[in-house]
Structure 1
Amino acid sequence: MTTNQPDTHTIGTDEIDLGALRDRYAAERERRIRPEGSGQYRRAAGEFGYYAKDPYTPLVERQPLTDRVEVLVIGGGFGGLVTGARLRQAGVESIRMMDEAGDFGGTWYWNRYPGVRCDIESYVYMPLLEEVGTIPGWRYAPGDEIREHAVAIAERFDLYRDTAFQTRVTGLTWNEDAAEWVVETDRGDRMRARFVVTSSGTLTTPKLPGIPGIETFRGHTFHTSRWDYAYTGGDAAGGLEGLADKRVAVVGTGATGLQVIPHLGRDAGSLVVFQRTPSTVDVRDNRPTDPEWAASLRPGWQRERQDNFLAVISGEAHDVDLVGDGWTSVPQLQRAMITGRVDPDLSPEERELADEMLDARKMTAIRARVDELVDDPATAQALKPWYRYMCKRPGFSDEYLQTFNRPNVTLVDTADHGGITRMTETGVIVGDTEYEVDCVVFATGFEVGVSGVLSGTLPVAGRGGATLLEAWGRGPETLHGFYTHGFPNLFHLGSLQNANSVNFVHILQDQAEHIAAVIGAARAAGARMVEPTKEAQAEWGRIVRTTAIDNATFQAECTPGYYNAEGRGRPNTSSYGPGPVAFHDVLQEWRRTSLDDVLVGVAGQATT
């Protein structure tokens, strides 16, 4: 593979002054800190609710549902889909899939902007490829292909049979006598379900910048997750002919910006890119799938590749790196965020220094790539990221940096002004300069880490009327992150008190298999209710707290972003510290040694 990126290992330690680099990182961080933290953003709700409207599927009217199903799965993304598939394989016939969107796909239903692709290799990212009989056409698949795969999973496992799309759950209430959940929705439904699985995700609700005057702008605006092709023309592959005579602005240069800005720069009459913090932009090296390689694959290939990817980036022992991309090239820089796994032959001080030096070499190479690809020195300087590698989600692109060589593209660095100053009827102001534009595209991401259960928009009342938020008043209390005492037959997918990884679909896949196994065992044992004991969840909480990775210092020194609550530096206390591979082993061992013990022969209620 030929790339324009310098080899990290060719940059010697004598070329890097760590003291000067730390000072530069701190200074750049201070330029971007805002006192209101996450309060600088606003929800796409109330007067801004139109930013979250579904532009893809017209609302289909229907009568309220008052029936009963055995399992209700809330969420039609990959977590919900794999759960539905595994439940179907476990023999569950009565399954209702529910989502606010008009079809399956989750974040891939919403994200249809030009250039959208996965940033994890598609062969390990897209679940159930072998079960569906699909090989992705690209190493990093486009959004359309990923969304079509979600639909294919639903069709393969007959999950369209009893769906409730365009529907948001507004309340879950446990009925002790009937041993079932009463489910209310914004469509007037009052249905019942024996088991409820929440997989509502956190990458569906768009986040908007709290720019003063945003409501006064008389031009056109939309969020990237609700792309307006009626205005821009073209499709996800580009060809935005409707923008040929338009002055376009884009706000945001994160993962979405890296993908959409090359298309806007190519097709718009002019483009102004408003940047607060530059992303790292490493080599993507996307390419079509090799047919000969695809034909050589043997049964079980995907699980082997997924497990290998997870092992490499988690710092686990492995003989070969099957993926060999930007993610797996520097696993040492990710392990502190994912597993905390360290080299036992070094002292803590030696490890910290070694990791910092490797980080510095990697970031120096990334900044050198900017100089190689961007012609204008001032623009190149503004595009250089000055922070530690894992302070933000790493970015990859083979087109983004080159876009700033186009004469119609202007980069505006807003860091010294605390972001965009305000919007007027005709443009965007930064400092004392106004940029008149016809259209503003917000590439500002989603409300990350806040599901409906956690935000309170999905109220849950369990045994005795106690609410889940009350039960979690001092922090989540679960067994393995899936279920809580006092809330029988309710299962959660997500990152609370379990494992995490850059390929979160793999984590969701493991979670779905576990939940399906528990529900299947409960059905076989004739148990009416499944919930953990207080003692079991207390012990699990103790394990999570004592093994959690203390990265608060690292995060506090990072440039502000959603990883560190906009600069406030929060420790990772909600994930199982030994990492996703170890957590997978914990679940497998629990199913092997404990599942039958807590379910088989239990009359009425099963405790876990």
Structure 2
Amino acid sequence: MTTCAPTDTPDDFDIDALREKYAQERAKRLRPEGSKQYVELTDEFAGYYENDPYTPVQPRNPIHEDIDVAVLGGGFGGLLSAAHLKKAGVDDVRIIELGGDFGGVWYWNRYPGIQCDNESYCYIPLLEELNFMPSKKFADGAEIYEHCRNIGKHFGLYDKAIFSTQVRDLRWDDEIHRWRISTNRDDDIRARFVVLASGPFHRPKLPGIPGIQDFKGHAFHSSRWDYDYTGGDTSGNLHKLADKKVAVIGTGATAIQIVPFLARDAGHLYVFQRTPSTVDERNNAPTDPEWVKSLQPGWQKERQRNFHAWTFEGMAPGQPDLVCDFWTELGRNTAARVMALEDPASLTPEQFMAIREEEDYKLMERLRRRIDALVEDPQTAEALKPYYRFLCKRPLSNDEYLPAFNRPNVTLVDVSDSRGVEKVTENGLVAGGVEYEVDCIIYASGFEITTDISRRYSIDAIEGRDGLSLYDYWRDGYKTLHGMTSRGFPNQFFTGFTQVGISANIAANYELQGEHIAYVIAEALSRGAEVVEPTQDAQDAWCRTVKETAVDNSAFDASCTPGYYNNEGGGGGEGLRSHLGEPYGPGFYAFGDLLAGWREKGDMDGLVLR
């Protein structure tokens, strides 16, 4: 076994001075409107969400029917919920999906260079069950999309799937004990059970830049890539941009993948950056066939647990770091420091966090010095340096992103001092008082992850018993039992970050939730129950448990640069809000054990079945 060693990081710097630098950099990026700086994709902006550039919408007759289960969303959350329902013996399952096929984020995101940005062997679900092995450590988007389609085929989910369909309203009908689902295709589907599985990365986020509708050139969001305009495909060759001036707004996970391709093919590329990302080495190695032969049954679950320990739990003493990359470096370096102490067991939590903070500063300084080594222009290099703690933004890796700024046709436009692009004109973008005339604007601005729940679900109305709105009910915080069902919303289940244990791997979250939801639905059907929902006492107890066991990360979040990880710094009167929702403090695996114990008892404790 290859040993994964701690990395060599610098320590010849002043942490107190850097701490002050971090605070200054954060302050100049804060915007008073917080997450409200992003426009809602309705009315004139609806096309950025509802338009499908990949699958023409085919006319069909409205569907009027009664079914057992409707799963809303065809990404990993919906696929895994439906798969577990099938495995639990529930066959009458329809997935309703806005896109033209399964895949969710991997259906919509087909921009050039798209890859998984954490390890494929952990992230992609059901590898063992479908006997599939990714071709490399960070799999291409097309490979993951095809795996999603194979999940659909393997579990027979295509037979009843409804694609190219947007759910508009979801209302409980107490007379027939069903959810009435209306859609943009005039469907009236009456489902005994509904699973909300739209996921956090499905609704594009568009910056509310003044004049955004005035631009006379071409514009699109990166998750609705227009290859008719750019030419090429996910592997590049964007030949139609050779004489075009292109602007990219955003420098997060999407931008660091598309910028190298745009830099290579566009006549000129302007990259508008508010906050730089951490960009480490990619080193995307092909999957070693000898390693594959050595794997034993259960290897993926073991690897996922190992990855979680080295990232979310901070370190995993006595365990090898199986993933061994930029995601686990901080835990690995912290562990080396801790284990070198004379008596590691005597370390207090405060002392541990102090060591971890020091290693965090050292890791970030290593990344900043890497920029100096790769980017030739000192001013550009300085603008690309991230000044914040490591997990304040999503850690990223790419081998071509930073060198792209050495090209004469690439201009970095730093908009941090003005807190973003000032305005859009008919001909381009204004930043720092300068107008940049462009032919095309690409919004690589991510997805709505911490905006209001009504925007994230993309359903106009979700009304439970007596017309109770889920959006009103959850306005001041989630109210659930086990994060997956709420009183007043019978036969309705949720996936995502809703008062559950959170894994470092979102697909593992979906699998755990899908298994539990399938158990409850299958039990309700087998026991002849028409309605299942939590008791008020059980729901109140779970909400107390979540609050009492919560890990308070507010000080860390408040120190971070604004972004979706901390609800844009909490402006607009919304306050800080984690992208992870309201997690169960003891963690993902403790939560899994709790659910397994609950199912093993078999008495459906806390639920009313009638």
Q: With the length of structure 2 as denominator, give the TM-score of the two structures.
A: 0.92
Moved more, 132-141 or 152-161: 132-141
State the match for 2:159 in structure 1.
161
State the match for 1:602 in structure 2.
none
SS at 1:215 equivalent: coil
Where in structure 2 are the equivalents of 1:487-498 lying within 5 Å?
487-498=489-500
> Is the 8 Å Cα contact of residues 55 and 226 (structure 1) preserved in structure 2?
yes
Cα RMSD (Å): 2.4
Where in structure 2 are the equivalents of 1:332-371 lying within 5 Å?
345-347=346-348, 349-371=350-372
> Is the 8 Å Cα contact of residues 421 and 430 (structure 2) preserved in structure 1?
yes
The 1:435–1:553 alpha-carbon spacing in structure 2 relative to 1, beyond 3 Å, is: same
State the match for 1:466 in structure 2.
468
Q: Find the aligned partners of 1:311 and 1:591 in 2 and give their Cα distance.
A: 25
Give the residue type in structure 2 aligned to 1:43.
Answer: E
Give the residue type in structure 1 aligned to 2:228.
Answer: A
State the match for 2:340 in structure 1.
none
The 1:495–1:420 alpha-carbon spacing in structure 2 relative to 1, beyond 3 Å, is: same
State the match for 1:72 in structure 2.
70
State the match for 2:561 in structure 1.
559
Deviation at 1:210, TM superposition (A): 1.6
Give the residue type in structure 2 aligned to 1:36.
Answer: E
State the match for 2:275 in structure 1.
277
State the match for 2:435 in structure 1.
434
Deviation at 1:318, TM superposition (A): 5.7
> Is the 8 Å Cα contact of residues 203 and 456 (structure 2) preserved in structure 1?
no
SS at 2:420 equivalent: coil
Give the residue type in structure 1 aligned to 2:514.
Answer: A
Deviation at 1:260, TM superposition (A): 0.5
State the match for 2:43 in structure 1.
46
SS at 1:440 equivalent: strand
State the match for 1:416 in structure 2.
417
Q: Find the aligned partners of 2:169 and 2:569 in 1 and give their Cα distance.
A: 34
State the match for 1:21 in structure 2.
18
Q: Deviations over 1:192-240 (max 9, x none)?
A: 1111111011212211112222222221111100000001100001111
State the match for 2:82 in structure 1.
84
Q: Which runs of 5+ in 2 are unaligned?
A: 336-343
Q: Find the aligned partners of 2:476 and 2:210 in 1 and give their Cα distance.
A: 35
State the match for 1:521 in structure 2.
523
> Is the 8 Å Cα contact of residues 215 and 428 (structure 2) preserved in structure 1?
yes
The 1:32–1:9 alpha-carbon spacing in structure 2 relative to 1, beyond 3 Å, is: same
SS at 1:70 equivalent: strand
State the match for 1:338 in structure 2.
none
Q: Find the aligned partners of 2:125 and 2:334 in 1 and give their Cα distance.
A: 23
Q: Find the aligned partners of 1:158 and 1:551 in 2 and give their Cα distance.
A: 42
% identical equivalent positions:
51
SS at 1:26 equivalent: helix
The 1:29–1:8 alpha-carbon spacing in structure 2 relative to 1, beyond 3 Å, is: farther
Q: Deviations over 1:506-562 (max 9, x none)?
A: 111111111112222222322222211111111110010011121112111211111
Where in structure 2 are the equivalents of 1:272-311 lying within 5 Å?
272-311=270-309
The 1:24–1:596 alpha-carbon spacing in structure 2 relative to 1, beyond 3 Å, is: closer
Q: Find the aligned partners of 1:583 and 1:598 in 2 and give their Cα distance.
A: 16
State the match for 2:448 in structure 1.
447
SS at 2:569 equivalent: coil
SS at 1:211 equivalent: coil
> Is the 8 Å Cα contact of residues 484 and 537 (structure 1) preserved in structure 2?
yes
Q: Find the aligned partners of 1:173 and 1:571 in 2 and give their Cα distance.
A: 28
State the match for 1:575 in structure 2.
583
State the match for 2:115 in structure 1.
117
The 1:334–1:166 alpha-carbon spacing in structure 2 relative to 1, beyond 3 Å, is: farther
The 1:40–1:464 alpha-carbon spacing in structure 2 relative to 1, beyond 3 Å, is: closer
Deviation at 1:8, TM superposition (A): 4.7
Q: Find the aligned partners of 1:332 and 1:179 in 2 and give their Cα distance.
A: 52
Moved more, 68-77 or 459-468: 459-468
Q: With the length of structure 1 as denominator, give the TM-score of the two structures.
A: 0.92
State the match for 2:320 in structure 1.
320
| Count, aligned residues | 590
Q: Find the aligned partners of 1:250 and 1:519 in 2 and give their Cα distance.
A: 45
The 1:352–1:305 alpha-carbon spacing in structure 2 relative to 1, beyond 3 Å, is: closer
Deviation at 1:463, TM superposition (A): 2.5
Deviation at 1:456, TM superposition (A): 7.4
Whether 2:397 is the aligned partner of 1:396: answer yes
The 1:516–1:502 alpha-carbon spacing in structure 2 relative to 1, beyond 3 Å, is: same
Give the residue type in structure 2 aligned to 1:593.
Answer: K
SS at 1:567 equivalent: helix
